[in-house]
Chains A and B, each alone.
Chain A
Amino acid sequence: GAGVSQSPSNKVTEKGKDVELRCDPISGHTALYWYRQSLGQGLEFLIYFQGNSAPDKSGLPSDRFSAERTGGSVSTLTIQRTQQEDSAVYLCASSLMGLAVGELFFGEGSRLTVL
Chain B
Amino acid sequence: AQTVTQSQPEMSVQEAETVTLSCTYDTSESNYYLFWYKQPPSRQMILVIRQEAYKQQNATENRFSVNFQKAAKSFSLKISDSQLGDTAMYFCAFRDDKIIFGKGTRLHILP
A residues lining the B interface (CB < 8 Å): 33, 35, 41-43, 45, 48, 55-56, 89, 91, 93, 99, 102-104, 106, 108-109
Contacts and interface: CB of A to CB of B under 8 A. Distances in A.
Categorize the interface residue count of chain B. Answer: 20 to 34
Contacts of B91: 42-43
Contact of B104 (A42, A103, A104): A42
B103 interface: yes
B47 A104 contact: yes
Given A42-B91, A99-B31, A103-B35, A56 B97 contact: yes
Contacts of A33: 98-99
Contacts of A45: 98-101
B108 interface: no
Interface of B: 31, 33, 35, 37, 42-47, 50, 52, 91, 93, 95, 97-104
Say whether chain A's binding surface is mostly helix, strand, loop, or mixed: strand
Contacts of B104: 41-42
A89 B101 contact: no
Please list the 6 inter-chain residue pairs (A to B) with the smallest Cβ-Cβ separation, ordered nearest first: A42-B103, A106-B45, A102-B33, A43-B101, A42-B104, A102-B95
Nearest to A55: B97
